[in-house]
Structure 1
Amino acid sequence: MRTCLVIDDSSIVRKVAGRIIASFDTATAEAASGAEGLAAAENTMPNLVLVSGNLSDMSGEDFIRRLRALEGGAAVPVIALLVESNLGQMTRLKRAGASGFALKPFDRMSLSMRLETYLRLAEAA
């Protein structure tokens, strides 16, 4: 079964994202911090990662760089969750290795549209 790792300081964001992702027949793992997310990915590399652009313990860019350095981390799609369309932050995240972006707060339709392509790719792999 495909897995998605959701990393966000907010338990509500993690819970809502998890419910939406479950509708794609995908298991969800959650992490409340970047360090927790890296430990989870090191243990079992997910098929998709959703990470907040602003974590309490590290920047989204730093998380993505560290994830990409892990074995198998270079091939995993990473969607950065942002609270606004900040071109500077989006550029830094993209340079760090982000595959795409989704804006918070999200609803079922908006997040599903963003993730559908990546989940289909994970299914084909």
Structure 2
Amino acid sequence: MKNCLVVDDSKVIRKVARHILESLDIKVTEACDGRDALNQCEAAIPDVVLLDWNMPVMSGMEFLQELSRTKMDARPKVIFCTTENGIGHIKAAVEAGADEYVMKPFDRDTLESKLQIVGVI
């Protein structure tokens, strides 16, 4: 079974994402900010990270930068999940290491499509 780390400071977004991901037979863990997510990735590498942009403690961009510096056996796929929809934001996310980008609010079909694109399902 594939696993996904959902990183968002909104408990509601984490709950919605969990519901969708579990319906796709994906195991879910959660983190409330980038620092928590980085610590979890160092402990156990997920197959994919669903990552919010704007969070306290450590933003999604800061998380991506730190993840790229971290020595890991494998790197998780990263899907940015945010309300930031400018082309500059999307370009910056991809350049920082994001594999895909999904806009909030998202639905099951959209998230499933992004997971297929990155090869998780």
Cα-to-partner distance string for 1:1-30 (whole Å, 9 max, x where unaligned): 211000001011111111111122110000
Partner amino acid, structure 2, of 1:67: L
- The answer for unaligned runs of 5 or more in structure 2 is none
The equivalent residue for 1:36 is: 36
1:23 corresponds in structure 2 to 23
Q: Show CA shifts across 1:70-105 (max 9, x none).
A: 233763210001204111111111111000100011
Describe the shift of the 1:95–1:80 C-alpha distance in structure 2 as closer, same or farther (beyond 3 A).
Answer: same
| Residues 44-72 of structure 1: per-residue CA shift (max 9 Å, x gap) | 00000011011112232211121222233
Q: Quick one: distance in 1 between partners of 2:74 and 2:62?
A: 14
Structure 1 or 2: more helix by fraction:
1
Contact 1:83–1:103, Cα closer than 8 Å, also in 2: yes
State the alpha-carbon separation in 2 of the partners of residues 40 and 13 from structure 1.
19
Matches of 1:104 and 1:87 in 2, distance apart?
A: 15
Q: Aligned-pair RMSD on alpha carbons?
A: 1.7
| Distance in 1 separating the partners of 2:96 and 2:72 | 16
Q: Is the 8 A contact 2:82 2:104 kept in 1?
A: yes
SS at match of 1:75: coil
Moved more, 4-13 or 55-64: 55-64
- Percent identity, please: 36
Q: Secondary structure of the residue that 1:40 maps to in structure 2?
A: helix
1:53 equivalenced with 2:37 (yes/no): no
1:1-125 alignment runs, 5 A limit:
1-72=1-72, 75-118=75-118, 121-122=119-120
| Structure 1 length-normalised TM | 0.87
User: Secondary structure of 1:29's partner?
Assistant: strand
- Counterpart of 1:36, as a letter, is D
Return 8-17 or 74-83, whichever deviates more. 74-83
Q: Helix, strand or coil: the match of 2:117? A: helix
The DSSP-based 3-state class of the residue aligned with 1:58 is coil
